Amino acid sequence: MSTASLIARRLLEAGAVKLQPSEPFTWASGLRSPIYCDNRVLLSYPTVRTEVVAGLVELAGQFPGIEGIAGVATAGIPHGALLADRLGLPFVYIRSKAKEHGQQNQIEGRIEPGQRYLVVEDLISTGGSALQAIAALRAAGGEAIGALAIFSYEFPAAVRAFEQADVPLATLSNYSSLLAEAAREGQIAKAEAEALTEWASDPRAWSDAFSAARQA
């Protein structure tokens, strides 16, 4: 079994991912979505946590010359810290914005100018939070040589955003692997798989169509 399929299975087993095409979730953006992913759940399962860290260590091998790990607050912090510990590297974490009190830090930890960091996020949807953290890291004098995440929705816009930022992205698993595993395990029917595939091609259109159907 590939790493992508294994992690997808673990996400489903732990309940970190929930698939509800007929009763979709509402994201913070207001979009209706048939999937909800919370990778923080994995921290409660030591065996799965170990598998995730091992996978991140393997992915990190794609990026030679790493000098530090930067976790994206908040969900990227624990996984990033575990990876940094395994690799014996310095760790920092980056907030979405600077604190309004104390030293008003946006980055917690010490960054040396020119230090080469691998940025760790738990989930990539649009990629906005990770890219915002990368911008803060660069502004502080650090260099982002790559980004890692546990799971990606594989939205084309996110792929383009990382390419434009000149930051290679690697993830342990992804949406297509998750759907394949869910179908293999009998967790979704054919009609549900079709709805989930349709959503991924255009989340906004799918959300609007679902809302319109409910109001009809």
pLDDT digits 0-9 by tens, 43-78: 999 999 999 999 999 999 999 999 999 999 999 999
Q: Please give the DSSP secondary-structure letter assigned to residue 40.
A: G
Residue 214 domain flag:
no
Specify the pLDDT at position 30: 84
188 touches 196 (CB < 8 A)? yes
Specify the pLDDT at position 104: 59
- Give the tens place of pLDDT for each residue, 133-176: 999 999 999 999 999 999 999 999 999 999 999 999 999 999 99
Confidence band for 216, pLDDT divided at 50, 70 and 90: low
167 touches 137 (CB < 8 A)? no
Specify the pLDDT at position 121: 98
Q: Where are the alpha helices (DSSP H) in 88-202?
A: 128-139, 156-164, 175-184, 190-201
Residue 216 domain flag:
no
Residue 199 domain boundaries:
3-209
Could you list the residues known to form a binding site for 5-phospho-alpha-D-ribose 1-diphosphate, using ranges. 95, 99, 101, 121-129
Residue scoring higher pLDDT (103 or 23): 23
Could you list the residues known to form a binding site, using ranges. 95, 99, 101, 121-129
Residue 215 domain flag:
no
Please tell me the distance from the alpha carbon of residue 144 to that of residue 134, in angstroms, as a whole number.
6
Residue 70 domain flag:
yes
Residue 178 domain flag:
yes
Specify the pLDDT at position 28: 77
Number of domains in the chain: 1
21 touches 192 (CB < 8 A)? yes
Residue 170 domain flag:
yes
Could you list the residues known to form a binding site for orotate, using ranges. 125
68 touches 111 (CB < 8 A)? yes
Run of H or E including 114: none
- Give the tens place of pLDDT for each residue, 78-112: 999 999 999 999 999 999 876 545 555 799 999 98
CATH classification at residue 113: 3.40.50.2020
